[in-house]
Amino acid sequence: MRILITAPYNQKGQDILSGKFGEVIYKPWKDNGRAFNETELNKLIDETRADALITEHDNVTANVINLHPHLQFIGVCRGTPSNVDLEAAKAKGIQVFYTPARNAQAVAELFIANVISLMRNTIPGWQWLTGKNWEEGAHTSYLQFKGNELAGKTIGMVGFGAVGQRIADMVRNFPCHIKFYDPYIESSNPDYHKTSLEDVFESSDIVSIHLPVNDQTIGMIDKKLISMMKPEAIFVNTARASVVKRDDLLNAIENNKIRGAVLDVFDFEPPDQKDYQLINHPHVLATPHTAGATHEVEDHHVEILNERILNWALSNENNTKKKIA
Ligand X SMILES: NC(=O)c1ccc[n+]([C@@H]2O[C@H](COP(=O)([O-])OP(=O)(O)OC[C@H]3O[C@@H](n4cnc5c(N)ncnc54)[C@H](O)[C@@H]3O)[C@@H](O)[C@H]2O)c1
Catalytic residue flag (residue 240): yes
Least Å distance between CB 232 and ligand 3PG?
A: 28
From the list ligand X, ligand 3PG, none, which binds 58 (C-beta under 5 to 8 Å, kind-based)?
none
103 versus 217: smaller Cβ distance to ligand 3PG: 103
Instruction: Return the amino acid letter for 48.
Output: T
Decide if residue 210 touches ligand X (CB under 6 A). yes
Q: Which of residues 142-181 bind ligand X (CB under 6 A)?
A: 158-164, 181
Least Å distance between CB 288 and ligand 3PG?
A: 11
Phi and psi torsions of 276, nearest 5°: -65, -25
Residue whose C-alpha is closest to residue 255's, from 280, 231, 219, 239: 231
User: How far apart, in whole angstroms, are the C-alpha atoms of residue 256 and residue 233?
Assistant: 11
Give the interface with ligand 3PG as residue ranges (CB under 6 A): 78-80, 102-103, 292
Residues whose CB falls within 8 Å of the CB of residue 318, separated by 6 or more in sequence, listed in order: none
Decide if residue 79 touches ligand X (CB under 6 A). yes
Q: Given 240, 246, 259, 300, which residue is catalytic?
A: 240
36 versus 98: smaller Cβ distance to ligand X: 98
Q: Given 289, 298, 303, 308, which residue is catalytic?
A: 289
Sequential DSSP letters for 60-119: B-HHHHHH-TT--EEEE-SSS-TTB-HHHHHHTT-EEEE-TTTTHHHHHHHHHHHHHHHH
**Can you give the length of the chain in residues?**
325
From the list ligand X, ligand 3PG, none, which binds 311 (C-beta under 5 to 8 Å, kind-based)?
none
Q: 10-14, long-range: CB within 8 Å, 24+ apart, which pairs?
A: 10/298, 10/299, 10/302, 12/302, 13/302, 13/303, 13/305, 13/306
Least Å distance between CB 102 and ligand 3PG?
A: 6
Catalytic residue flag (residue 289): yes
Catalytic residue flag (residue 269): yes
Q: Can you give the binding site for ligand X, defined by CB under 6 A? A: 79-80, 100, 103, 107, 158-164, 181-185, 210-212, 216-217, 238-240, 264-265, 289, 291-292
Catalytic sites, residue numbers = 240, 269, 289
